């Protein structure tokens, strides 16, 4: 299986911990699910599925806190249907009445190298060859083409991406301080605790989260395979 | 008319003696990146201004209604006619509407058709099913100032008090103190993206795109207030790709717009102190730069 490496970088990132999503707090590093979304924003078809192998953390883990005014309501489908049906009605949402101030603890100044591959799904159909998709992905990633600009956890935190040539993938981490190296799990592996792997969409009406024990080892987050025992729901 | 182009844009705007975006965590001081001293303006702040502008110029009428409103705009409580479609029976009995079915899609489409902000930025709609979301084609980022900004605090006085009790306490002196914060000057850069794939899903078309450019250029002209000082759009650089997927990486294009201090300028206090270098040499084929402002 051909593995691709994308280098993504951005000013901010928020890979929200599901247990702290009212006031968002990011995981220390990118989650496999948001890494998958980056690849999917470049190429995705119903016939393929992306798998993340590992995520290399190229920069020290740094934080920023931002508090924003947000809206705490969602559009009511019932009201929309009613207005649609009657031909009159007052829709619209008053932000002063639905105001929520939420702080977020985001990552800043991040660079990752994500390694991923895709597989054809069994029901891909006759005219979907793997070669076709490989070519498509390479062509798009090299030119910077995408369906929508990929982002790091939240849509406002867009990222640059570039396809990394696998032959020239040495990363210089000499400039990191001792503390930063410790943070990234150099010498001693760093345990990041349980981290969201991805959502299990087998039952589309009720997707279930899957978690794995994330560890940073020499700046690399190794992602176990989706079906392994390490991944728990 | 639907369009088949990807767009990446750079928005330059500045503020003079005002607070472009207060930080609720810091007592409404202008937002500053503590590590670099550069000012920040959130994506949501800019999107709010686009909504207000469109609400203003289009008079809150379909297909340019604004869903997420500020009070000032909301106060017209008149009912108006919608281009309704007859789906009443689906509202009866709670099984059917929970499952959604085609009514959910239709309602979502209908919201997109009527509301400019829903089809531009997307929205979350509550339904029984999980995918009750509209992803909008327009994506914006935090804006950052080109150089560090220095927020300043100003004490101000008011020659009146709010309550009788306070007046009595002050023996008729009736004065209160307040604070306001300004940035003496700051030039900010924001990046934005328009995906034609998502545009087709929400029905965001060429006219809507034109309105987006117009609002980015004019939004500050209709957002005057005591807190904002003088804000203005100083540049809108739109990279238009020939294709839907795009013809070059966005960051390679954004690198071509470089605002910087002019020689000799040390402390920026006006747009005159800046020079915007626009590199149009060897543009990637299939990408054109449109300077809209």
**Cβ of A91 and B67 within 8 Å?**
yes
pLDDT at B270 exceeding the cut of 90: yes
Cα dist. B186→A108, B50, B150, B271 in Å? 22, 20, 9, 9
Is the distance from CB of A75 to CB of B111 less than 8 angstroms? yes
pLDDT of residue B97: 42
Q: Dihedral sign for Cα B66, B135, B220, B237, please.
A: negative
pLDDT at A73 exceeding the cut of 70: yes
Give me the mean pLDDT over the A64-90 stretch.
83
- Percent of chain B exceeding pLDDT 70 equals 87
* pLDDT tens for each residue of B220-232: 999 999 999 999 9
Nearest CA in chain A to B73: A94
Give me the mean pLDDT over the B36-55 stretch.
96
Nearest CA in chain B to A89: B79
Give me the mean pLDDT over the A2-29 stretch.
94
Whether omega for the bond prior to residue B19 falls within 30 degrees of 0, making it cis, is no
Q: Looking at beta carbons, which residues of chain B come within 8 Å of A158?
A: 139, 141, 191, 193, 250
Query: Could you tell me the pTM of the whole model?
Result: 0.88
> Mutating which of A68, A73, A100 best tests the B interface, going by the most B Cβ atoms within 10 A?
A68
Among A207, A53, A38, A167, which residue's Cα sits nearest to residue A119?
A: A53
pLDDT of residue A207: 86
**Cβ of A85 and B84 within 8 Å?**
yes
Give me the mean pLDDT over the B254-274 stretch.
95
pLDDT at A201 exceeding the cut of 90: no
Range of lowest pLDDT (A10-19, B21-30, B163-172): B163-172
**Cβ of B82 and A74 within 8 Å?**
no
Mean pLDDT (chain A) is: 91
pLDDT of residue A169: 62
**Cβ of A145 and B246 within 8 Å?**
yes
**pLDDT grade, residue A103 (50/70/90)?**
very high
Is the distance from CB of B216 to CB of B234 less than 8 angstroms? no
Nearest CA in chain A to B194: A148
Is the distance from CB of A142 to CB of A163 less than 8 angstroms? yes
pLDDT of residue B96: 40
Print the SS3 string covering chain A. Answer: CCCEEEEEEEEEECCECHHHCCCCEECCCCCHHHHHHHHHHHCCCCCEEEEEEEEEECCCCCEEEEEEEEECCCEEHHHHHHHHHHCCCCCCEECCCCEEEEEEEEEEEEEEEEEEEEEECCCCCCCCCHHHHHHHHHHHHHHCCCCCCCECCCCCCECEEEECCHHHCCCCCCCCCHHHHHHCCCCCCEEEEEEEEEEECCCCCCCEEEEEEEEEECCEEECCCCCCCCCEC
Q: Looking at beta carbons, which residues of chain B come within 8 Å of A140?
A: 245
3-state secondary structure of B128: coil
**Residue B281: how many CB atoms within 10 A of its CB?**
5
3-state secondary structure of B57: helix
Give me the mean pLDDT over the B55-63 stretch.
88
**Residue B126: how many CB atoms within 10 A of its CB?**
13
Q: Looking at beta carbons, which residues of chain B come within 8 Å of A62?
A: 35
Alpha helices, DSSP H only, in B86-184?
A: 94-99, 102-114, 116-121, 164-169
Range of lowest pLDDT (A136-140, A149-153, A170-174, B150-154): A170-174
pLDDT of residue B101: 58
pLDDT of residue B169: 84
pLDDT of residue B90: 46
**pLDDT grade, residue B167 (50/70/90)?**
confident
Mean pLDDT (chain B) is: 88
pLDDT at B133 exceeding the cut of 90: no
Q: How far apart are CA B177 and CA B179, in angstroms?
A: 7
**Cβ of A148 and B40 within 8 Å?**
no
The answer for residues whose C-beta is within 8 angstroms of residue B27's C-beta and 6 or more apart is: B179
pLDDT of residue B78: 54
> Mutating which of B30, B116, B130, B198 best tests the A interface, going by the most A Cβ atoms within 10 A?
B130
pLDDT at B100 exceeding the cut of 80: no
Q: How far apart are CA B174 and CA B159, in angstroms?
A: 6
Q: Looking at beta carbons, which residues of chain A come within 8 Å of B24?
A: 67-69, 101
Give me the mean pLDDT over the B96-109 stretch.
65
pLDDT of residue B92: 44
Q: How far apart are CA B240 and CA B246, in angstroms?
A: 8
pLDDT of residue B89: 46
pLDDT at A34 exceeding the cut of 70: yes
Q: Looking at beta carbons, which residues of chain A come within 8 Å of B141?
A: 11, 156-158
* pLDDT tens for each residue of A111-127: 999 999 999 998 888 88
Q: How far apart are CA A100 and CA A22, in angstroms?
A: 10
Q: Which of A94, A146, A155 sits opposite B74 (nearest CB)?
A: A94
Range of lowest pLDDT (A140-144, B83-87, B166-170): B83-87
**Cβ of A144 and B107 within 8 Å?**
no
Q: Looking at beta carbons, which residues of chain A come within 8 Å of B91?
A: 78, 81-82, 85
Q: Closest approach of chain B CAs to the CA of A116, in angstroms?
A: 20
pLDDT at B99 exceeding the cut of 60: no
**Cβ of B87 and A85 within 8 Å?**
yes
pLDDT of residue B73: 53
**Cβ of B130 and A204 within 8 Å?**
yes
Give me the mean pLDDT over the A204-216 stretch.
91
Q: How far apart are CA A203 and CA B107, in angstroms?
A: 24
Nearest CA in chain B to A94: B69
Range of lowest pLDDT (A38-42, A181-185, B15-19, B60-64): B60-64
pLDDT of residue B98: 45
**Cβ of A87 and B82 within 8 Å?**
yes
Q: Looking at beta carbons, which residues of chain A come within 8 Å of B132?
A: 74, 77
Is the distance from CB of A26 to CB of A13 less than 8 angstroms? yes
Q: Dihedral sign for Cα A39, A12, B220, B258, please.
A: negative
Q: How far apart are CA B15 and CA B185, in angstroms?
A: 6
Q: Looking at beta carbons, which residues of chain A come within 8 Å of B77?
A: 90
Q: Looking at beta carbons, which residues of chain A come within 8 Å of B125?
A: 74-77, 80
Among A27, A38, A28, A3, which residue's Cα sits nearest to residue A160?
A: A38
B84 vs A53, which has greater pLDDT?
Answer: A53
pLDDT at A67 exceeding the cut of 90: yes
Is the distance from CB of A35 to CB of A125 less than 8 angstroms? no
pLDDT at B187 exceeding the cut of 50: yes
């Amino acid at each position: 299986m051909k593995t691709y490496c994308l280098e993504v970088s951005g000013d901010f990132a928020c890979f929200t911990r599901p247990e702290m999503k009212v006031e968002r707090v990011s995981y220390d590093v990118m989650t496999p699910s948001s890494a998958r979304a980056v690849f999917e924003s470049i190429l995705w078809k119903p016939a393929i599925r992306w798998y993340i192998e590992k995520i290399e953390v190229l920069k020290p883990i740094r934080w920023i806190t931002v508090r924003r005014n947000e809206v705490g309501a969602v559009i009511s489908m019932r009201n929309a249907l009613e207005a649609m049906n009657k031909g009159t009605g007052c829709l619209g949402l008053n932000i002063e009445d639905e105001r929520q101030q939420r702080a977020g603890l985001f990552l800043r100044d991040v660079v990752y190298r994500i390694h991923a591959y895709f597989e054809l799904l069994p029901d891909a159909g006759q005219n979907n060859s793997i070669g076709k998709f490989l070519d498509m992905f390479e062509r798009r990633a090299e030119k910077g083409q995408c369906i929508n600009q990929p982002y790091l956890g939240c849509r406002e935190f867009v990222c640059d991406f570039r396809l990394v040539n696998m032959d020239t993938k040495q990363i210089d981490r000499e400039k990191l301080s001792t503390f930063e190296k410790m943070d990234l799990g150099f010498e001693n592996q760093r345990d990041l605790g349980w981290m969201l792997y991805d959502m299990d969409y087998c039952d589309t009406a009720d997707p279930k989260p899957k978690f794995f024990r994330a560890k940073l080892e020499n700046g690399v987050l190794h992602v176990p395979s989706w079906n392994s025992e390490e991944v728990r729901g | 008319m639907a369009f088949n182009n990807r767009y990446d844009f750079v928005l330059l705007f500045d503020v003079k003696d005002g607070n472009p975006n207060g930080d609720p965590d810091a007592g409404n001081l202008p937002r500053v990146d503590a590590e670099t001293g550069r000012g920040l303006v959130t994506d949501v702040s800019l999107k709010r201004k686009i909504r207000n502008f469109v609400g203003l110029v289009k008079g809150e009428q379909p297909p340019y209604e604004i869903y997420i409103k500020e009070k000032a705009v909301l106060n017209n409580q008149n009912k108006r006619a919608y281009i309704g479609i007859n789906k009443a029976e689906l509202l009866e009995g709670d099984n059917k509407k929970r499952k959604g079915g085609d009514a959910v899609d239709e309602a979502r489409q209908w919201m997109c058709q009527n509301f400019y902000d829903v089809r531009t930025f997307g929205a979350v709609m509550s339904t029984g099913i999980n995918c009750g979301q509209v992803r909008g084609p327009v994506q914006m980022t935090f804006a950052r100032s080109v150089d560090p900004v220095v927020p300043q605090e100003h004490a101000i006085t008011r020659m009146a008090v709010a309550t009788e009790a306070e007046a009595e306490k002050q023996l008729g002196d009736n004065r209160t103190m307040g604070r306001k914060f300004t940035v003496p000057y700051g030039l900010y850069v924001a990046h934005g993206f328009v995906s034609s794939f998502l545009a087709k899903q929400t029905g965001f078309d060429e006219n809507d795109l034109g309105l987006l450019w117009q609002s980015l250029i004019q939004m500050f002209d209709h957002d005057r207030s005591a807190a904002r000082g003088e804000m203005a759009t100083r540049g809108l650089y739109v990279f238009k790709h020939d294709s839907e997927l795009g013809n070059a990486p966005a960051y390679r294009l954004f690198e071509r717009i470089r605002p910087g201090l002019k020689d000799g300028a040390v402390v920026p206090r006006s747009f005159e102190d800046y020079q915007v270098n626009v590199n149009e040499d060897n543009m990637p084929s299939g990408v054109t730069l449109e300077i809209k402002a």
